[in-house]
Structure 1
Amino acid sequence: MDVYQMGLSVEVRELLDATAAEMVELFGISRAEAVARINEQWHGQDFSGDDEIVLHEDRHYWAMIIYFGEVPDWSDDADRSDWVARPAPSRQSGHWTTET
């Protein structure tokens, strides 16, 4: 079973894997939560084409957007200590497709 709940090209799959890894590294969440957040963001979409719009941004951009929603400061040294993350999807949402 695929962990992502959308149609994907090889390039988009690589971006989503990298985005999940970026969220793990930046925010200290599990890969399972990162995947659930990605699924909540884009479930049911079709990203199987050759030039999908999501490919026009990088993993850091998508990690920040998916985790926070609104990003008030894009600088690398931004103080995020008072930023509020979007809530993780509930375990009953159906977006948690992996335990790892």
Structure 2
Amino acid sequence: MPASPETLEFLDGIADEMVSEFGISRAEAVARINAQWHGQDLSDEDSLVLHEEERYWAFMIHFGGNVPDWRPGADRSSWVPKPPPAEDSGFWTVPA
């Protein structure tokens, strides 16, 4: 997807957040991000994507919009993440 340098840096931060918060691989984090915004143009530096924090998007993408508790120490043991994109979806663009 087209993205401005600022947005690319922001997406990289979202991937970092997903890796550290959820223990997933960077490849999976990038695939989830690609699936979230495929077909969209994020090249505008005023993109709405940039109006939320990286942590917000990491949680929204990983849990498919179902985030019951935003507190940092929340018990997430019963939360169910959204399944990652299929391996043949074309969203897996980073080697595992």
Residues 1-52 of structure 1, C-alpha deviations (whole Å, 9 max, x = no match) = xxxxx11011110110000000000011100000000011111110101210
1: CA distance between counterparts of 2:88 and 2:44?
Answer: 30
Q: Which residue of 1 aligns with 2:86?
A: 90
1: CA distance between counterparts of 2:47 and 2:82?
Answer: 25
Specify which of 22, 27, 47 is matched with residue 27 of structure 1.
Answer: 22
Q: Which residue of 2 aligns with 1:99?
A: 95
Q: Which residue of 2 aligns with 1:56?
A: 51
CA RMSD of aligned residues (A): 0.7
8 Å CA contact 2:27, 2:92 repeated in 1: yes
AA in 2 matched with 1:83: W
The answer to whether 1:9 aligns with 2:13 is no
8 Å CA contact 2:7, 2:45 repeated in 1: no
2: CA distance between counterparts of 1:39 and 1:7?
Answer: 11
Specify which of 81, 87, 94 is matched with residue 77 of structure 2.
Answer: 81
Q: Where do 5+ consecutive residues of structure 1 fail to align?
A: 1-5
Q: After the TM superposition, list the runs of 4 or more consecutive aligned residues in structure 1 that deviate by more than 4 angstroms.
A: none
8 Å CA contact 2:7, 2:50 repeated in 1: yes
Q: Which residue of 2 aligns with 1:3?
A: none
Q: Percent of aligned pairs with the same residue?
A: 60
Count the aligned residue pairs: 95
